[in-house]
Amino acid sequence: MTQSETPVQTPKDTPKSFAALRHPGFRAFFVCMALGMMADNIEHVISYWVIFEKFESPMLAGFAVIAHWVPFLLFSIHAGALADKFDPRRVIQLGLVLFILVSLAWGFLFYSDTLEMWHAVVLLIIHGIAGVLWGPAANMMVHDIVGSEQLQSGVRLSATARTLGMLMGPAIGGGLLLLVGPAWGIIINAAIYVPYVVWLIKAPYGHGYRKKIGDVDHAAPPPRAIKGFSDIVHTFKEVAGNRVIVSMTLLAGAASLLVGIAYQPLMPGFARDLGATEATFFYSALLTAGAAGALTAGIVLEMKNLMQPQARTAFRQVILWCILMTGFAFATNFYLALGLLFAAGFLELSYKSMTQTLVQLRAPVEIRGRVIGLYSSSSLGLMTFSGVTVGFGAELVGIHASLGYSALALLIVTIGLYTYSEIKKRAKEAVEAAAE
């Protein structure tokens, strides 16, 4: 059995609650991750508002979504390959510098009132590229900081930090719009990235520090050429025999493709049908219920180190998530719908962090970045098309039926993947038993 397939054993003395936060480095990383995600969302709030006011173009609004997710679909594996070959700290810093430059460019264009549509298109594309540079390299940093033994905690708490940033970003972005206006608000936002950039300068992690640890899990990967789009095929071939990596990558991709977050733009319609006649507390509560559930999951699950990473558990969580989303789609009572969204958000953070943990734990060290990139391409990149399955479907059958049927389709796919995974697992166990 190869190292990448060896089950991870947790030592008896491993801290049971908030294990990753026992690392001083991870505490700093947690704060930086929350600040980075907050700044990312502040930029969305301010730039989208100005774009809408100036151009009133639904097409440009749609392009903003595409520009955000398509880079993850096309370039995640290349960003992971960069983190394999070069210091992941520097790859993250490159992404953060691009974020800063984009915010400053928005600020100049807003202040000088010279924004044109082509400016917006270019800046939205650069912003998307910055995000894909940040993602896989940051996931590798988590592994470097906490190691395999506490990776589940690190991934889950990283997701919690992102959720915290996503909750704070819109509120602070709206406040900056009101207090100082869009130009100075987004320039101030550029400064929020700076602590993250500065911390990474001398953070004792990355390739150069793995050699000093002396642990095979942290062995420095040999240099390997980046082969362009052929890397996607080569990486998939290298992990095709690993049942867990393949099944978790496909599971995360199916969830993103069939449901994703495409129901969020439809939330005004759900709120109206549930009795909200205007943008009041009811609408805001529905918008934030999922994020609140995710944040709660990050805290509750870490308190007792619950939900250890197992493929079977991840499949069951997605099955339950599908049932909850179907229930929300057809709910007619506001409070029931709110509770279902909260519970769905709780499960979403849990299953996403679990699938990512399982993939990272089993990825061969020398191509870990590429495998993380392949997973990101599936779990994030395929969200590009969830607007087709849920959004366009709403035009044909209505928002409730569209989301409900999409969730039911994901349920069927998940059960199929679960069955396939179990069959492969039992076949492998039979072969191993016969060999003994």
Residues of the chain with CATH 1.20.1250.20: 16-220, 233-436
Instruction: For 229, list phi and psi in degrees, rounded to 5.
Output: -70, -20
pLDDT of residue 408: 95
pLDDT of residue 229: 60
Q: Which residues of the chain have pLDDT under 70?
A: 1-16, 58, 61-62, 207-231, 265, 276-281, 387, 391, 436
Residue with tokens 């990355």: 206
Tell me whether residue 8 is exposed, middle or buried, using C-beta atoms within 10 angstroms of its C-beta: 0 to 12, 13 to 18, 19 or more: middle
In the chain, the N- to C-terminal Cα span, in Å, equals 13
CATH numeric code, 233-436: 1.20.1250.20
pLDDT of residue 100: 96
> Which fold is adopted by the domain 16-220?
Growth Hormone; Chain: A; (1.20.1250)
d(CA 152, CA 160): 12
Cβ atoms of 64 and 51 closer than 8 Å:
yes
pLDDT of residue 8: 45
The predicted-structure confidence for 255-305, as pLDDT tens digits, reads as follows: 998 888 777 767 778 888 887 665 466 777 887 888 889 889 888 888 877
